[in-house]
Structure 1
Amino acid sequence: MSNELQRLGRLVGTWDVSGGATGTTTFEWLDGGHFLVQRGRLDHDGHEVRMTEIIGYEHPFGGERGTEVKSRVYDADGNTLDYVYELAGDELTIWGGFKGSPGHFKGVFTDDGNRLTGDWVYPGGGYHATMVRTAASRSDR
């Protein structure tokens, strides 16, 4: 497993989400440690969002493993959303679809790693968001 994906292990645990979306989300490793899974239930502007996200490197059948940490979100409304994750020090960027996208989240972890605060930005809008860890999970793979 690459160091970039491994560093995202700091997301493992259960988080309370507040700001433009509110609710709870949990990150955990899939068996083997090659993918993180996020499962969440959020309220965004009065709409319940139930989702599962798989985060890791693409490795297509017969092909080479990708170099970017990507994800796909599947939600209860039938939507699929793609993201690219970047973690540089304590700053997490989640790009909507591709690096450099106008739709993205940029946030910073506190020194203890138990709070992530930042902003979702997208054409025509955005919102401030905070995640606070409420429970740690097993981080071993």
Structure 2
Amino acid sequence: MTSDPALQALDRLVGTWKITGGHEGTVTYRWLNDFFLQQDVHLGDTHGIEIIGRERTLMAEPSADIKSRYYGDDGSTLDYTYELAGDTLTIWAGDRGSPAYFKGVFSSDGRHLTGAWVYPDGGGYESNAERLEQG
């Protein structure tokens, strides 16, 4: 597994999760290699994959933040920034500090992630996860 401590911390996500709240379905996280985590998304009629890791363009150093790109079955490509601090996972839509973000907290046993997506217009929705299967 990766020697990048911030990326390695996301190992808590590996496995299959049942999602409830604003969207219903499952997501599965798995390591592709030492540098990237993949999320397979099946939420209602929405299906896609997300690749999570540090950006590293040709001849450049890895990005300071952990970034991702989601590829949806509707042709969408969405960028996110991940941060896990203690038991709190924050996923910003776009760059760190974006007004659109998910914030959730892992239970002490790691089987639940309770949180919500927040949107800048005051909207958003609950998004909770229960681990079905460990990776």
TM class by smaller structure: over 0.9
Is structure 2 residue 48 aligned with structure 1 residue 51?
yes
Q: Which runs of 5+ in 1 are unaligned?
A: none
- Cα deviation code 1:50-76 (max 9, x no counterpart): 010000000111111111100000000
The CA distance in 1 between the partners of 2:71 and 2:118, in whole Å, is 20
User: Counterpart of 1:4 in 2: which secondary structure?
Assistant: helix
The residue that corresponds to 1:107 in the other structure is 104
The residue that corresponds to 2:21 in the other structure is 19
TM-score by structure 2 length? 0.95
Is structure 2 residue 70 aligned with structure 1 residue 68?
no
> Which amino acid counterpart does residue 133 of structure 2 have in structure 1?
A
Q: Per-residue deviation at 1:123?
A: 2.8
Residue correspondences, number: 132
Could you list the structure 1 runs, at least 4 aligned residues long, displaced by more than 2 angstroms after superposition.
Answer: none
The CA distance in 2 between the partners of 1:129 and 1:62, in whole Å, is 38
The CA distance in 2 between the partners of 1:135 and 1:90, in whole Å, is 19
- Cα deviation code 1:63-122 (max 9, x no counterpart): 111111000000000001100001100000000101111100000000011100001011
CA-atom RMSD in angstroms: 0.8
TM-score by structure 1 length? 0.91
- Cα deviation code 1:6-32 (max 9, x no counterpart): 00010000000000000011000003x
